[in-house]
Amino acid sequence: MAIKTFTTGEVLTAADTNTYLANAGLDYITQASWVSGAAVNVNNCFTSKYSSYRLVVRNAKHATTAVSILFRLRVGGVDKGTNGYYYSHRYIPMTVTGGQDDGSANAAYIVPGLVATTANAGVATIDIHDPQKTAITSLTYQGAWSGTTSASGNYNGGGFLNDTVAYDGFSLTANTGNLTALTVYVYGYRES
């Protein structure tokens, strides 16, 4: 039996059910790594081609201590760093029963996770919805970080930016001091 290859734009159907087969999934857009300074800035990655995006943060490390990672949206190479971010999450330390709830209303950033001083200390997955539209941008996130035995845990949460600006990028930075490593991969969700 010959293998059939398909071209972009072809519509496929399942012969046994006569239903359309979706072409959903993730398309790689770009990646960025920490080089020097306090932040990893990614510009011009959000376009009208996708409504939703996935950021995969890996290998995050801080120079001197365990810190929060701050997420901000950007437009024209500039952070939206003033109030308007709303978020909440549950942080579960590895060595403590239960967990801690945290969040903020009308903040200058969203906190999607933590990093420590050990290699590969912070990882996170952030899903962003409608950043390039003139509407509220929402996101969900989950992540884990490892430090000492008493300083490791995981995050699950979500939030939004309460304005109607079309954003084309984002930044990740530490709440204090400098990162020494971080790589972020950007993917767009195919909708059909």
> Looking at residue 88, which CATH number applies to its domain?
2.60.120
HEC letters along 87-154: EEEEEEECCCCCCEEEEEEEECCEEEEEECCCCCCEEEEEEEECCCCCCCEEEEEEEEECCCCCCCEE
Residue 18 lies in a domain: no
pLDDT above 90 covers a percentage of the chain that reads 49
Mean pLDDT of 63-83: 90
Mean pLDDT of 74-88: 94
Q: Label residue 80 by pLDDT band (50, 70, 90).
A: very high
**Number of domains the chain contains:** 1
Residue 13 lies in a domain: no
Residue 8 lies in a domain: no
pLDDT for 108 beyond 70: yes
Token digits for 64?
């001197």
Residue 9 lies in a domain: no
Q: Label residue 92 by pLDDT band (50, 70, 90).
A: confident
Residue 81 lies in a domain: yes
Residue 11 lies in a domain: no
Token look-up 């943060």 returns: 57
Residue 42 lies in a domain: yes
pLDDT for 129 beyond 70: yes
Residue 36, domain extent: 23-190
pLDDT for 19 beyond 60: no
Residue 153 lies in a domain: yes
pLDDT at position 102 is: 84
pLDDT for 28 beyond 80: yes
Tell me the CB-side half-sphere exposure of residue 131, using CA atoms within 13 A: 28
